[in-house]
Amino acid sequence: MAGPKRTRVYQNHHLDSTRWEQIALRPGDIVISTAYKAGTTLTQMIVGNLLFWEGERPEVLLRASPWIEMRRNAIAEVREDLEAQTHRRFLKSHVGLDGIPYRDDISYIYVGRDPRDVFMSLWNHYRNHVPAFFADLNDSPGRVGEPFPPCPDDIYELWQKWITRGWFEWESDGYPYWSLLHHAQTWWEHRTLPNIHCVHYGDLLADLEGEIARIANFLEIEHSDEAFAGITEACRFETAKKNADCIVGDMSQSFRAGNQTFFHQGTNGRWRDVLREEDLALYRQAMHRLPLDLARWLENGGPVP
């Protein structure tokens, strides 16, 4: 069976997937991919702690594990930092499998989440950006397409656009970012490949230690039971929020209240008190475009069929 192929180029206010062409991938590299707000940072924390628990850990985790497609980060600096790393590297992506390089000797971790929970987290994220963040994205050279618009004041206005409109022509949701559902489907279609591991955010919340062990097994990383207990504690939301500076660095140039905005609540189910029946009707229409097993998994998690 032929491996996945790059068939799309993702370029907008945030993204430039062609930046992958400037990264020299190595055997053993790990790519962690979510559309957004589905446990990206938590999974980076898990992988980082698995790799460095008994050795020297990077001062700022997200600098050691950079977001490759993010236009805001100078690609020359990202490439230089990665080339200087001598350990097993772990990279972040927010692009579907149809937009990044695929190799048999690289491990890929895809993280999914109930789209309604993603939206609630995105609402907090989007509406708390500072003006300088928008200016940085929109005014930097190389932007393709329309500028990143300001967040609406009305959550229902954002929901209606986000669940019914795509940014790219091949998408039908995700505006003004990019599609959550198309992203999920690109990974789901290849979930049986031995170097692709699917993780669900709900499962991370329900059984963090068990999910860490499964990720370690996928990556062929061994630790003692004591080490796994320590890694689990280090990755809990409350611990991460206390140590935000060491994980994400200074976020004051991106968010009001900086790191404390970035680490907001980390919970599921808040949509139940917000989304109305007419909003959920739009959601059901969007989910009907997905394969049934993927739609069920995104909502419920559990073993990957």
The closest of 81, 101, 83 to 19, measured between CA atoms, is 101
**Amino acid at residue number 168:** F
* pLDDT in the model for residue 252: 57
> Would you say residue 283 has pLDDT above 60?
yes
For residues 231 and 224, the answer to whether their CB atoms sit within 8 Å is: no
In the predicted model, is pLDDT for residue 113 greater than 60?
yes
Percentage with pLDDT > 70 across the chain = 90
* Model confidence at 242: pLDDT above 90: no
Residue 8 inside a domain? The answer is no
In terms of C-beta density within 10 A (0-12 exposed, 13-18 middle, 19 or more buried), how is residue 254 classed? buried
Helices (H), the chain: 40-52, 61-64, 75-84, 115-127, 131-139, 155-164, 180-188, 201-206, 208-219, 225-235, 237-242, 244-248, 259-262, 277-287, 292-300
Helices (H) and strands (E) in the chain, counts: 15, 4
Q: Would the pLDDT of 183 be above 70? A: yes
pLDDT at residue 182 tops 60: yes
* Residue 197: its H or E element: strand 196-200
User: How far is CA 228 from each of CA 32, 47, 52, 65, rounded to the nearest angstrom?
Assistant: 20, 12, 12, 21
Residue 108 in any domain: the answer is yes
How many domains, the chain?
1
Q: What is the pLDDT of residue 239?
A: 79
pLDDT of residue 238: 79
Residue 207 has pLDDT above 90, yes or no: yes
Alpha-carbon distance 261 to 264, whole Å? 5
pLDDT at residue 92, as a whole number: 97
pLDDT at 273 over 90: yes
Contact, 209 vs 229, CB < 8 A? yes
Q: Which of 271, 269, 270, 199 is nearest to 235 (CA)?
A: 199
CB-based contacts of 129: which residues, under 8 Å, 6+ apart? 151, 254, 255, 256
Q: Chain-centre distance of CA 242, in angstroms?
A: 21
Model pLDDT for residues 2-25, shown as the tens digit of each residue: 679 999 999 999 999 999 999 999
- What pLDDT is stored for residue 59 in this prediction? 67
Range with lowest mean pLDDT among 108-117, 129-138, 142-151: 129-138
Least confident range of 60-74, 77-91, 247-261, 277-291: 247-261
Q: Is the pLDDT of residue 257 over 70?
A: no
Nearest by Cα to 291 from 112, 23, 89 = 112
Mean pLDDT across the stretch 84-92? 95
H/E run at residue 58: none
**Pick from 19, 21, 30, 84: nearest CA to 58:** 84
Residue 196 inside a domain? The answer is yes
Q: pLDDT value at position 298?
A: 98
The mean of the pLDDT values for the chain is 91
Which CATH number covers residue 245? 3.40.50.300
- Looking at residues 135-163, what average pLDDT do you find? 96
For residue 156, what are the domain limits?
17-300
Split at pLDDT 50, 70, 90, the class of 204 is very high
Q: What is the CA radius of gyration of the chain?
A: 18
Give pTM, 2 decimals: 0.94
Residue 56 scores a pLDDT above 70: no
Average pLDDT over residues 214-238: 92
Residue 223, both tokens: 């630790």
Residue 10 belongs to a domain: no
* Two tokens, residue 117: 């929970």
